[in-house]
């Protein structure tokens, strides 16, 4: 087959580095944006935080005008002879920067601020601290440390004792017996919080009840221990009739037993870890305020950082413009500076595009769900999918998804994740489309209002919803109930 040449025209879609950068920035929540900006400032010395006035002279070219310009040098003389810096150096650049007018003898107000940090002891630190109070031999201490190190985040020992013995033998060359490990485990089970070191939920609850019984002897505590020892499966499945028949106890006795057990902590180690995790606060990306029936939307100020091009880099270009322009090394430096300045401009434009996209998307959501933002009633939420907002904002569905992901809005009725406002539709008997979130809200209200002695079954809940005009099947009711983390009727029953 003979070789031949031909000309062809093709249309290809290709994302520029700037578009990729913008897409990544859209996904970043406000709480992480500061770190992302700091990373960019560390990588690009031409970018810095400062006054907005210095950005004006670099705002002339949009991202679209800069995308085709590349500065890849091949080492030829033309690369250094055709350097145009006219757009970077303009008249009026001799204005003295504000940082040059500051008095270095006085500290800035921001530098005197002290930010307090909350410190807490982790679960494992607490275990190690209590372990240090025991009087043990060297081998016993190492075995005990192995047991403590094997506890999971909830405070349970999920590993088998024989597996711990094997680990000690192979990794630390320590030979021990099941009796020694079991004895040390009993000591660890006396640690605080009560219930740590348990190998099952049943043992965890029994450890806590035995601790309470040693402090205060009560009939209900002793009875609760018997229930967990003999009728644990019946208790968790709420087969209370079997328990009453087996122990010959009254309804009042059973209520006291249930009260004693439900007040116990099924995850003794989880409370300490949860306390540390709760220090991560939600930072809202938007604020919606009801001003006499008119909704006002504002963007969190952290989404609009004051970025500018470095004054020092601009001075370098001015010095080059005034010089002879004959030094090859100086020209290489100027090319490097131009690349960094262009990169800084792209990042500043990407941040501003991010702000506009966030505001446009949130404004469309706010207008679409106007009734909810006015009343705060979840039943006023309209069915809304990503496509609805994409059509209103003329953005791609993937862009709207990136904005809705991990973003929060603060309203007068609380702080909500943007994904909260998206839901599918369900048709009523009249043919009207309502949000599935409205159905879930009414389902929750029905369950809250039910008699706890005779809770509604899924069939009964389906009938009640159908009476209210919602065409819904029993399996859909069961699905929504599970999504709301509501147990079945039998498990909701209270004596």
Name which of 433, 411, 435, 415 is nearest 424 in CA terms.
Answer: 435
Give me the helices (H) in 30-160, please.
30-43, 63-66, 77-81, 123-131, 138-149
Distance (Å) of CA 495 to CA 256, 412, 461? 10, 39, 21
Mean pLDDT in residue range 53-69: 41
* pLDDT per residue as tens digits for the range 324-348: 555 667 777 777 878 888 888 888 8
pLDDT at 121 over 60: yes
- In sequence order, what are the residues at sequence separation of 6 or more whose Cβ sits closer than 8 angstroms to the Cβ of residue 405? 27, 418, 419
**Burial (CB count <10 Å: 0-12, 13-18, 19+), residue 470:** buried
Give the whole-angstrom CA distance, residue 206 versus residue 197: 12
Name the pairing type of β-strands 286-291 and 294-299: antiparallel
Give the whole-angstrom CA distance, residue 70 versus residue 342: 10
Angle at 200 between CA 195 and CA 206, to 5 degrees: 45
Mean pLDDT in residue range 173-196: 91
Instruction: Look at the block and give the residue holding tokens 């650049």.
Output: 93
Give the whole-angstrom CA distance, residue 484 versus residue 444: 8
* pLDDT per residue as tens digits for the range 399-416: 888 888 888 999 998 899
pLDDT-based confidence at residue 67 (cuts at 50, 70, 90):
very low
What's the whole-number average pLDDT of the chain?
78
* Dihedral pair phi/psi, residue 446, rounded to 5°: -65, -40
Least confidently predicted of 110-119, 263-272, 275-284, 395-404: 110-119
pTM for the model = 0.56
Instruction: Look at the block and give the residue holding tokens 């003389």.
Output: 77
Give the whole-angstrom CA distance, residue 301 versus residue 283: 11
Between 77 and 180, whose confidence is greater?
180
Give me the helices (H) in 278-369, please.
311-322, 328-368
Name the pairing type of β-strands 408-411 and 307-309: unpaired
pLDDT at 205 over 90: yes
- In sequence order, what are the residues at sequence separation of 6 or more whose Cβ sits closer than 8 angstroms to the Cβ of residue 239? none
Give the whole-angstrom CA distance, residue 406 versus residue 290: 24
Give the whole-angstrom CA distance, residue 254 versus residue 234: 13
Cα radius of gyration (the chain): 34
Q: What pLDDT was estimated at residue 78?
A: 47
Give the whole-angstrom CA distance, residue 261 versus residue 243: 14
Task: Read off the tokens for 78.
Answer: 């033309």
Mean pLDDT in residue range 24-47: 80
Name which of 486, 484, 416, 414 is nearest 456 in CA terms.
Answer: 486
First to last CA, the chain: 89
Give the whole-angstrom CA distance, residue 320 versus residue 285: 43
pLDDT at 363 over 90: yes
- DSSP label of 297: E
What three-state secondary structure class fits 309? strand
Q: How many CA atoms lie within 13 A of 491 on its CB side?
A: 10
Give the whole-angstrom CA distance, residue 363 versus residue 355: 12
Q: How many CA atoms lie within 13 A of 48 on its CB side?
A: 12
- DSSP label of 425: E
pLDDT at 419 over 50: yes
């Amino acid at each position: 087959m003979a070789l031949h040449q031909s000309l062809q025209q093709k249309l290809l879609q290709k994302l520029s580095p700037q578009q990729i950068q913008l897409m990544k920035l859209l996904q970043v929540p406000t709480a992480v944006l500061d770190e992302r900006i700091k990373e960019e400032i560390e990588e690009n010395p031409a970018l810095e935080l400062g006054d907005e006035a210095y950005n004006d002279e670099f705002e002339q070219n949009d991202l679209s005008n800069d995308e085709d310009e590349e500065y890849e040098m091949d080492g030829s003389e033309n690369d250094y002879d055709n350097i145009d810096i006219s757009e970077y150096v303009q008249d009026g650049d001799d204005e003295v920067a504000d940082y040059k007018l500051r008095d270095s003898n006085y500290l800035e107000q921001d530098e005197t601020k002290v930010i307090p940090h909350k410190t807490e002891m982790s679960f494992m630190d607490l275990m190690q601290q209590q372990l240090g109070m025991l009087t043990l031999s060297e081998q016993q201490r190492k075995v005990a440390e192995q047991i403590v190190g094997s506890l999971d985040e909830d405070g349970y020992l999920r590993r088998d004792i024989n597996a711990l013995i094997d680990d000690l033998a192979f990794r630390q060359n320590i030979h021990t017996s099941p009796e020694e490990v079991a004895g040390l485990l009993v000591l660890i089970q006396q640690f605080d919080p009560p219930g740590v070191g348990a190998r099952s939920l049943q043992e965890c609850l029994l450890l806590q009840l035995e601790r309470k019984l040693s402090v205060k002897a009560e009939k209900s505590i002793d009875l609760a221990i018997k229930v967990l020892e003999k009728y644990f499966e019946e208790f968790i499945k709420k087969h209370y009739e079997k328990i009453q028949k087996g122990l010959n106890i009254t309804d009042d006795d059973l209520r006291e037993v249930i009260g004693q057990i439900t007040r116990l902590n099924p995850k003794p180690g989880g409370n300490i870890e949860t306390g540390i995790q709760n220090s991560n606060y939600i930072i809202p990306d938007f604020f919606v305020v009801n001003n006499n029936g008119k909704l006002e939307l504002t963007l969190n100020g952290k989404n609009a950082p004051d970025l500018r091009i470095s004054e020092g880099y601009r001075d370098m270009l001015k010095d080059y413009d005034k010089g002879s322009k004959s030094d090859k090394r100086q020209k290489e430096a100027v090319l490097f500076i131009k690349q960094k300045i262009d990169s800084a401009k792209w990042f500043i434009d990407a941040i501003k595009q991010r702000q506009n996209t966030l505001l446009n998307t949130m404004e469309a959501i706010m207008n679409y769900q106007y009734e909810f933002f006015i009343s705060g009633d979840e039943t006023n939420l309209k069915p809304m999918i990503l496509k609805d907002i994409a059509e209103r904002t003329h953005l791609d569905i993937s862009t709207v998804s990136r904005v809705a992901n991990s973003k929060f809005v603060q309203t007068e009725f609380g702080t909500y994740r943007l994904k909260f406002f998206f839901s599918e539709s369900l048709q009523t008997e009249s043919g009207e489309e309502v949000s599935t979130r409205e159905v879930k809200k009414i389902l929750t209200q029905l369950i809250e209002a039910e008699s706890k002695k005779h809770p509604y079954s899924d069939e009964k809940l389906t009938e009640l919803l159908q009476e209210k005009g919602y065409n819904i099947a029993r399996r859909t009711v069961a699905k929504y109930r599970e999504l709301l983390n509501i147990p079945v009727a039998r498990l909701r029953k209270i004596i």
